[in-house]
Amino acid sequence: MVERARRAAFIYSTQLERYAYPPGFPLVVQRAKKAYDLLKSMGLLDAGSVVAPRSASREELENFHSRRYLAALQRAAKGEMTADASRMGLGTPDCPIFGDMYDVSVWACGATLTGAALILSGAAEIVFNPFGGFHHAKAEKAAGFCYLNDMVLGCMALSRGGKRVLYLDLDAHHGDGVQEAFYEKKEILAISLHESGETLFPGTGAVDEIGAGDGLGFNVNIPLPLGTYDEAYLAVFDRIVSPLIQWYAPDAIVLELGMDALAGDPLAHLCLTNNAYADVISRLLRFKRPILAAGGGGYDIEKTVRGWALAWRIFACESCDRADASLGMGGVMLQSGEWSGGLRDRKLSIPERQRISVGTALEATMAAVIANVFGRHGIDSPVDGSESAAASDSDP
């Protein structure tokens, strides 16, 4: 039996194993099954914490996506291309036409909405849906492997349920679909840490994209330079993200937990280890707010699975916030000889030149966020890179 101090739910069922992207496609949705299997084999997941998802209803999907887009998507999945399909982003190299594309998307949305319902009912305080995280999809356009946007729908469900929602995106790619959905609204504070759009798809997420109209100052982008590493990443979190969470005082946090910021991911150029993700999760948990997390990107399958397994371990076990999980089991359980030190990655050695270049770029970025967003809301920021007072004060 897993010792679990928090009411944590892992969204999964064998129903999800029926669907797949085309063979050879970078996005492998079977990552969710691999994470589930790894956690089960290591004794880190019990039956009481696994919750089966449902598929999203058409009515729920229409809370964000248009009827004509949903109709075109459904018809395309059956091989019936409409005149609008190309304009809607369907049939591109990033969003190919395949039989499962509608069903896989509907179930991903349903899984995230299942998690939102668990939080709203109080049945869970932490929910992780590794099958979700499709943050690029727009109301009427597919993009970046994403056909329907479960992250937008999850945020909307929590907001309609009376929650003040903070959306935090840790995927290496900017969550442009989420940004567009809430850009002129102040009901959702959206924060994204991502590789700069100057070097990575989708090319958006600049520091000066801070919202418009009622949403001015409620959209926060932190573009990261090539080679951003753990210590630099955590300094950004402590100086920018933690003070924003403290100021906004959300009732719930929606978290995009893409693992493509890990060093060596084939589709990005950052240099994190999963220790950075683990430390961010620990910091978030100290705010004692419900968290709805979804998988997102991650194209080195082994690293992604291990990172999600570590994330779940910390989500589920309060006493494990700062401890490694199953020391010595990682390499054995993943059948890899690269690293046998547990679920956590080994620490990377960062050359001085990289430290200087990354540090210089991030100082300029953080200064811009502080001027454009903090100044607008009257937020104080730690200047020494230490954890915010909010996180420290609520430390268990």
Residues taking part in catalysis: 136
Whole-angstrom distance, CA of residue 109 vs CA of residue 105: 6
SS3 336: coil
Whole-angstrom distance, CA of residue 229 vs CA of residue 241: 17
Q: Considering only CA atoms, which of 193, 197, 324 is closest in space to residue 255?
A: 193
Pairing between β-strand 252-256 and β-strand 165-169 as defined by DSSP bridges: parallel
Q: Report the 10 Å Cβ neighbour count for 144.
A: 22
SS3 129: strand
* 122 torsion bin: left (phi>0), alpha (psi -120 to 50), beta (else): left
Whole-angstrom distance, CA of residue 27 vs CA of residue 4: 31
On whether the CB atoms of residues 204 and 348 are closer than 8 A, the answer is no
Half-sphere exposure of 167 (CA within 13 A, CB side): 36
SS3 146: strand
The set of residues, in sequence order, having a beta carbon less than 8 Å from that of 67 and lying 6+ positions away, is none
Q: How far is CA 42 from the centre of its chain?
A: 24
